Every structure is written in C-alpha cells, then in structure tokens.
Amino acid sequence: MYYSFPDNFWWGSASSALQTEGAREGETTWDRWFSREPNRFHNGVGPQQTSTFYEHWKTDIALLKQLNHNSFRTSISWARLIPDGIGEVNPQAVTFYNQVIDELLAQGITPFINLFHFDMPMAMQEIGGWENREVVAAYARYAQICFELFGDRVNHWFTFNEPIVPVEGGYLYDFHYPNVVDFRRAATVAYHTVLAHAEAVRAFRAGNHAGEIGIVLNLTPSYPRSQNPADLKAAHIADLMFNRSFLDPVLKGEYPEDLVALLKSYDQLPACQPGDSELIAQGKIDLLGINYYQPRRVKCRDSAVNPEAPFMPEWFFDSYEMPGRKMNPYRGWEIYEPGIYDILINLRDNYANPRCFISENGMGVENEQRFIENGQINDQYRIDFISEHLKWLHKGISEGCHCLGYHMWTFIDNWSWCNAYKNRYGFVQLDLATQQRTIKKSGEWFAATAQNNGFTRE
C-alpha cells in the first residue's frame, strides 16, 4: 500500500542545543551536576562532549538538505545567549544562532526554534530554578529577547520541550539535577513552568511577531490493564498527572478540575497568586508539538501505600507490563505504534482538533556499529519503526486529525543526558573519535520518503 501525505507536510528531525552544540560560556545544571557526579553519566561522558554542531553547523545543515528535510527543530541555549540567565546578551551566541537560522533558510529548511530543552542556567538554579518566580520573569525576558533578535526569520516558536521531564527527573524520581524527591516542590516547578510558558506567549502576542508559538509535550497515552473501574480510575489519574497537567493549560487555558481537586485533597497544591488564572488563560497556543515514544500501561494498586513514604503519583496506580508487548530492549521501552493514532484522536475529539505535528519519535539502539555493512549502518529496524508509526499517523490524518508533519529524533547521533552515547538515534552516524558523519540506511529511506511525500509499505 502507498501512504501519501498532505501537501506541504513537514518532514524533518529534532535536536537540542545542549545535546549537540558542545561547550558554552554559561554553565548549566548539567555542567554542574557532571562536575560533581560524573559517575551518574554513562561512561563518564558529560555535556561538553557532543556532536560539535557549534563548529560544524554549516556542513550539518548541508546534510539536512541531503536528507530532504523541509523543516528542522533545534533549541537556543539560554545559558549560551545569556550566560547568567538575566544579564548581558552574549554577542557570539547571537552571531552563531543568526548563522544557523540564515543557513537553514538558505537551504530551504524551515527553522522550528525551541526556547528551553532541560538546560537551566546554573545561575538561575542557584536561586531556586523553577521554584522561584524570579526565574519565571527571567525566562520571560529571555524569550522576548529571542523573539526580537530572531523573530524576523523564525515563524515557528516553542516555549518548552517536554516540560514534565524536569519535574519528574529533578523533583520526583532523581534522574535529573537537582535530585529532589518532593511532590509539593515538583508541583510548584510544574506550575511555574506553565506560568513561564504563558508569559512567553503573552510577550510573543504583545510584540505582534509574525508566525506562531506553541509548546512540545511528550504525550504518553495511559492504557488501563482492564475495563474494571479500579483500573480505569488508575489510568485516569495517571493521564491527569502526566499528560493533562500541561495539555489542558496550553490548549484550554485552565487546569482539569479533577486534578486540582485531587491535589487539594492531599494538600499538594502549589501556591497561587492573584492574576495567575488570567495569565494561564493567555497561554493558549497556535501549534502543538507531540513527542511520542511509548505508552503508559497502568493498573490499580495491588498493595497499600507505605504511610511513611513520600507522596508520589504512584499512590494511585501501579505500572502494568502487558503480556506479549513489543519492546526496544536497549532503551527498555515498549513499542506500540497505535499510540500515535490514539493521541491524535484524543486531541481531535476532546481538544477541538488543534494544529499539531509529531515533533519527536525515535528508536535508540546500543552498539549500532555491529550493523555496519559496506561502510554504512544497515538500520532496517529503524526504518520499520518509523514506517509503522507513519502508517498509524496516516490513519489519524485520514480521519480528520489536524497533524501537519513528522519530525524524527534525531538528525545525528547525539549526547543524551545521563545515557551519553549509549543508545544511538540518528539518521546520521557520528564517529566520536573523528567526528566523521555517515548517513545510515534509515537516512536514505527518510530522504526518499520526504522527497516523495509518502512511502510504500505492506
């Protein structure tokens, strides 16, 4: 069967500043954490050792063109542009980002620019990070500076990438700095992130900038083990906490009433101030980026909660491992292609069918060098992964979902937080020793798919 996509469909990939650029003038939380606990990072590889996009941006953009990208998402590093988060703008950073944006446009590639991808300036974290409303104000200023510097050429802005991840990693589950385990503080971080998002949207609107502004959310459909009411309730609460805590504010301009009631009943609501609700209502977006990697399968708890344990989302549900599930064994994630369709249908039916696109979808594989054939990585497994997801994406579009594109994570093998280079995701292989770039078989397949605006699949 041939799967054809709408005219002007966005074909491309996504990356981030911190994972590709390399060393910067301003210190981030990742730089500080790595200096203190390098053992927490795979093979002791920290954020200074990336795919050197800062030096190779021109040749890398030429590779994007070779891969037939018509769009590409990356981020601006707050700590590179404003090293202390709030003070003077770094002119070298302005030059760099201007060069990147101009070269993308020269190659016929539309830049999608994200403002925050987990990379909090350390100077901002030292005064409390997202727990401190002064940092919200500093972020709003940073966003406005970006709009003024680059908004004449950038028409697609995103305030945050996966804002739930710093909440989970930094304040619930100890896999990001500052390694706090405290739900109330996590809720404050999430709430202030929504306020920061809304401040940026308000600044964008007030400046009458061309184009549109959105946010990128990692949406993980919550599937109950069964239709038993207890399992259904567990899945509903998981969805409230991990999806709707950001989805509702940015699409509806308000929080779900049942989430507010739940947190209030356990005395976990963050502190609100007069005017917050009106600000959140102004944060409704033009375009939603959807990152989809895996589903969340849950069931009701089988055991009582330890009354001495910290309050956690898992007070209300347990994870469920569905028998027979398909897995990516290297990442430990389930592969469930229909999830991408279910997300789109939910948006169509419950959120007025917003303009959206798949902003990340990808498969990380360890030790890909074993698949080299005639000097090229034969990653047929990645081609299968992409095409099966695209089939379900195509089905959603055919049923009226307003999905405008598909971006893969990622363009080139890059540094990935605590995993460093353990799992490779790129269309392009990176040799860390030589920095040589080699297009994989999946890159050739994607280039053909983008050129043809479709593909053939059984």
Residue 111 has pLDDT above 90, yes or no: yes
Q: Looking at 95-99, 116-120, 213-217, 329-333, which range is the least confident one?
A: 329-333
CB 300 within 8 A of CB 317: yes
Q: Model confidence over 115-161: pLDDT tens digits?
A: 999 999 999 999 999 999 999 999 999 999 999 999 999 999 999 99
In the structure encoding, which two tokens stand for residue 149, read together? 């510097």
Q: Amino acid identity, residue 249?
A: P
Q: Model confidence over 414-441: pLDDT tens digits?
A: 999 999 999 999 999 999 999 999 999 9
In the structure encoding, which two tokens stand for residue 436, read together? 């040589």
Give the pTM: 0.97
In the structure encoding, which two tokens stand for residue 420, read together? 């460093």
Q: Which domains does the chain have, with CATH numbers?
A: 2-456 (3.20.20.80)
Please report how the helices 53-66 and 91-106 are oriented relative to each other, as an axis angle in degrees rounded to 10: 10
In whole angstroms, how far apart are CA 131 and each of 84, 144, 155?
A: 17, 21, 30
Q: Which of 21, 103, 162, 360 is catalytic?
A: 360
If we measure between CA atoms, which residue out of 134, 111, 110 comes closest to residue 121? 134
Active site includes 458? Answer: no
